[in-house]
Amino acid sequence: MNSMQRVLTALSQKKPDRVPLMLLFSHYGAKETGITIKDYFSNPDNVIEAQMKMHKKYKSDCLYAFSYASLELEAFGGNTIFFKDGPPNSSKPILKNLQQIEQLKVPEIMECPSLQRVLRTISGLKKEVQDTVPIIGVVMSPFSLPVMQLGFEHYLDMMQFHFGFFEKLMEINKQFCVRWANAQIQAGATAICYFDPVSSPDIVSPQFYKKTGFAIAKETIAQIQGPTATHFASGRCKEILEDVIQTKTAIACVSSLEDIGEIKNICNGRLSILGNLNGIEMCRWTELEAEKAVRDIIEKAGKNGGLLLAENHGEVPYYVQEKILLSIASAVERWGT
Amino acid sequence: MKEMFKAALLDSDKIKAFSFLSQSFDLSQQGEAIVNLISDVLTEIGSDWEKGDIALSQIYMSSRICEEILDKILPENKDKESKKTNIAIVTLLDLHFLGRRVVKSFLRSSGIEILDFGAISSPQDLAEKAIQNNIQSLLISTLMYHAAIKVKEVRECFRKQNYNIKILVGGVPFIFDRNLWKEVDADAMGVSPADAIKILQLWKQE
Ligand code: B12
């Protein structure tokens, strides 16, 4: 089986030749290439080359076009801060007060250089692999993006006390999210990873989610012209799974703080799952620990398809050692067939 | 009675929370009893969050409401912050401030005064500032992993200066790797902001 066949088989709840391994590499590519993270993302050729290299080296069954979350803030006029040994972060919020939401415009994809770089990356990857390896695009959910647009504290205040502004911002973010997702699909992305950690019960209560994050996801995902995976960035999802299924997403991503076997049972074939290696612990794992972690997940949730094995946050941290990734890859071959 | 106050906090109902206190206590006379009640309730809320029973939005709102209520009832506390305390909190090399904000509110609402160092990106600068302010207990909050591991450099700076200080760390990286606090040479870690209250009280008794 090639990677695409393997992933599609697993998603159709059948047993593939081995459990698909979805190592989501973003800024890790800079480490592989030996250049700074800022330089790495400045040129799509760097990303394309590193993605192809890592796909082969670590036997990962997908290519990942994500660079960093703050990219979307750049589209709204914000800035990004780069570090030498960790993921880029958003700089100051773009909205200084809620009134500014009235003036906020939906960014034009064509006018934002960093979004264009991602689209060029996707089309370059597509040229390389055609339909043999899934290419994953990424969007921040309309409901999660405001943490960067406003700052977390102000966003929580807005949710609680200024619901009118909240709804206005959601309208803008929904439009942007749909456009951005569909631009990536048109460029050649196979599926879109919808990052929505604010919907996790770790961040807002399931009752509040129902009238906000859930309704927004349902509406947004319906307009995305390709399959989606809903990612909670290692936030837990057990309590809201029934709602997540209703959003018609294909995959839910499971936190390493959750029992993946239990989540698989709840999903019962209605949703595939992605997870749930602990990326933070992974930074200091031994090879034996890596193998054990892989084996545990496969034992708990690997039967009869439905599982994509991955790190639980949606990107491999910079500090994870090469030998650990190699032992994850060989453990999947050993235990996942 | 405690349950009602807690329920009001979890519903983010400031008015209900306040009117409950004003009905149950003599606000001008029973400051200490109120602080004790708030501290108790926040500790419960902290462990509910730790168990995954309540959301961050609820823990954040509860801490904010309690801080506001206390500033109203005990206005003299408001300016106490900078006075005579040897406890400080900082966000290290990170642009994420909410963790620090919540921990600080928890402590202040429990009657523990604390200096807020804001965000500092260099371990050397942080160590210097702590020494200058005669800090004995330093609380460090981080969200990014690459920031969390820099706590070790902070410790080294203190060691070089032969400065004795206790470091308490918290934030998501320490929750996902329960041994990380030892690796970075901290003295303790807290999962929920309420752990900061417990640990500081323990250190005070030592
Ligand atoms: C929601 C979320 C997002 C949202 C919002 C993030 C934000 N705050 O800006 C979005 C989608 C935007 C996002 C994006 C990213 N994220 Co994110 N995200 C999360 C998530 C789910 C929650 C983070 C959060 O803000 N929690 C709220 C704060 C207040 O919680 P907290 O700091 O833990 O504090 C609580 C306790 O820990 C305690 N506490 C805090 N400090 C202290 C100190 C002491 C002394 C004590 C006692 C207690 C204590 O009290 C607080 C209240 O209870 C976490 C994973 C998770 N499961 O938690 C990942 C996580 C924080 N994200 C992570 C990363 C890497 C990112 C990105 C850099 C990804 C990328 N490549 O772009 C971006 C950066 C965004 C930015 N701002 O630039 C990583 C960071 C660790 C790492 N790998 O380095 C995490 C931990 C995921 C993971 N498991 O790896 N993310």
Stated length of chain A: 337
Residues of chain A whose pLDDT is less than 70?
none
Nearest CB partner across the interface for B145, out of A152, A236, A319:
A319
Neighbouring residues of B46: CB distance < 8 A, sequence distance ≥ 6 = B59, B106, B192, B193, B194, B195
Map tokens 């890596």 to a residue: A290
The reported pLDDT for the residue numbered B80 is: 56
Residue A165 CA to residue A271 CA, distance in Å, equals 33
Rounded to whole angstroms, the Cα distance separating A126 from A188 reads 6
User: What is the separation, in whole angstroms, between the first and last Cα of chain A?
Assistant: 12
From its phi and psi, is residue A93 left (phi > 0), alpha (psi between -120 and 50) or beta?
beta
Beta strand B115-120 with A89-90: parallel, antiparallel or unpaired?
Answer: unpaired
Amino acid at A155: Y
Q: Residue A274: give the domain boundaries.
A: 3-335
B197 pLDDT more than 70: yes
Check CB contact of B108 with chain A, cutoff 8 Å.
Answer: no
- Tell me the C-alpha distance between A47 and A45, whole Å: 5
* Structure confidence at residue B73 as a pLDDT band (50, 70, 90): confident
| Residue A198 alpha carbon, nearest atom of ligand 1 | 1
* Topology of the domain comprising B1-73: 1.10.1240
Rg over alpha carbons for chain B, rounded to the nearest Å, is 17
Give the global pTM: 0.96
Residue B191 contacts A where some CB pair is shorter than 8 Å: no
Q: Is the pLDDT of residue B81 over 70?
A: no
Q: Is A259 touching B (CB cutoff 8 A)? A: no
The alpha carbon of residue A4 is apart from the nearest alpha carbon of chain B, in Å, by 32
Interface probe with A: pick from B10, B176, B183, B191, most Cβ of A within 10 Å: B176
Between positions 31 and 50 of A, the ones with CB within 8 A of B are: none
Helix B31-50 and helix B56-73, axial crossing angle in degrees, nearest 10:
170
DSSP state letters, B16-70: HHHHHHHHHS-TTT-HHHHHHHHHHHHHHHHHHHHTTSS-HHHHHHHHHHHHHHH
Query: Which chain B residues are closer than 8 Å to A153 by Cβ?
Result: 60, 97-98, 101
Chain B contact set for A204 (CB, 8 A) = 55-57
Question: Which of A68, A89, A200 is the mutation pick for testing B, counting most B CBs within 10 A?
Answer: A89
The domain limits of chain B are 1-73, 87-204
B149/A319 CB distance under 8 A: yes
Output phi, psi for B140, to 5 deg.
-120, 130
* Chain B environment of A201 (Cβ under 8 Å): 52, 55
- State the maximum Cα–Cα separation within chain A, in Å, rounded to a whole number: 57
Place of tokens 């997908």: A62
pLDDT, one tens digit per residue, over A245-255 is 999 999 999 99
Q: Calculate the alpha carbon distances from A66 to A4, A29, A32, A184, A222 in Å.
A: 19, 11, 16, 11, 22
Nearest C-alpha of chain B: how many angstroms from A19?
25
Q: What is the residue whose two structure tokens read 């069954």? A: A61
Instruction: Please determine, for residue B122, whether its predicted confidence score (pLDDT) is greater than 60.
Output: yes
Q: Name the pLDDT band for B115 (thresholds 50, 70, 90).
A: very high
- Least CB-CB distance to A204: which of B55, B101, B147? B55
Confidence of residue B83 (pLDDT cuts 50, 70, 90): low
Report how far residue A75's alpha carbon sits from residue A284's, in angstroms, rounded to the nearest whole number.
35
C-alpha separations of A53 from A50, A63, A137, A160, B118 in Å: 5, 10, 18, 46, 41
> Residue B26: what pLDDT?
85
> How far does residue A245's CA lie from ligand 1's centre (Å)?
25
What CATH number has the domain spanning B87-204? 3.40.50.280
Per-residue model confidence (pLDDT) at position B29 = 80
Report CB contact under 8 Å: A89, B98. Answer: no
Q: The tokens of A82 are what?
A: 């780069």
Both tokens of B143, joined, read: 């969200």
pLDDT band at B79 (very low <50, low <70, confident <90, very high): low
pLDDT digit string (tens) for A116-127?
Answer: 999 999 999 999
The enclosing domain of A151 has a CATH number of 3.20.20.210
ipTM, two decimals: 0.95
Distances in whole angstroms, Cα of residue A179 to Cα of each of A142, A195, A226: 12, 15, 12
Taking only the tens place, the pLDDT of each residue in A60-98 is: 999 999 999 999 999 999 999 999 999 999 999 999 999
Q: Convert the pLDDT of each residue in B33-58 to its tens digit.
A: 898 999 999 999 999 999 999 999 99
Q: Are B206 and B136 in contact (CB under 8 A)?
A: no
Please judge whether B101 and A153 are an interchain contact, meaning their C-beta atoms are less than 8 angstroms apart: yes
